[in-house]
Structure 1
């Protein structure tokens, strides 16, 4: 795929998995910046390493750990998701090709999203939860090339991501040390490791599971949970 053909928002396959382009940097060695649709992991690649795909009615894929099937002429529901496949925004709206939007309210056949965009019914496909019978699984370019172990991991992905999000700390989080009643604030995060003001370094999972550290509040909130 030539770089001139790559556009922000396009669905593409990279290393056999479905990705979405979020930026193109023509002068960079790896000019195409993407995230993997199933878990939002960010990657970069060369244009010749990716294959373009146009999503359509009855396509099914993993989106942040959960299976969804794309449906046209399907009423959207509050709290559900849509995929904008034919963007035609008004001047007050801010969305582009293949954006995932959450529905805040439904007005006739159109929707208002949580980002306060008004999206017309002709512009989107509804993301129906689950894998509908007869749907076309597009999570992989060639499903036959995917190891059984990878498919097993995909089946557990929703639970894994839910726990990962639950345990992810933020700069300014304050924890109580149950051993000595002292407190410490998260002062740095590098990769999957946090550094507390006491100098203690723990992974996200270690901090979440620790018997002697208990979350109190974040200094930006100015209040206890």
Structure 2
């Protein structure tokens, strides 16, 4: 289905032509479920929470489909909902321990990693070191300011264009570029500090 067909289909949910609406909705879920999950897990860091939030994104889409007028792409609308729900989750759960979120993040089969690639190894020491590197990276990402983290996750977890990120975050293109640049600088600084003080 093309974008306009999907938009037209969504408008038919709950009407006499509901079947067409259901087909459009299913197509959207099948197309975007994985990438929306990636965005959620990149922001909240916990696999179970990310699945719940991603599900909520599509529930909201279903309930509010008739309000979507096509002013932006469907993907932009979904990402915006996912980002807002993920950030709200973090704000409402600040008392959760970071370590638990990190462990949940890396327990998921669907986890996408940045820069670090798992390799099948049987050496316990190497496995331990890899896990430490993952935790260091996740902790560094979590330490980023909210806007930097959001822009960085959207770009690096789902490879979204700068233009669409600017639409999702409702910022100028130059602001998004600046956020991602600063995020990379801050990550580099945090990780350099970590390895300088923890790696012998």
TM-score range, shorter chain: under 0.3
User: What is the TM-score with the length of structure 2 in the denominator?
Assistant: 0.26
More strand by share: 1
Looking at both structures, which has the greater relative contact order when contacts are Cα pairs under 8 Å and sequence separation is at least 6? Answer: 2
User: What is the TM-score with the length of structure 1 in the denominator?
Assistant: 0.24
More helix by share: 2
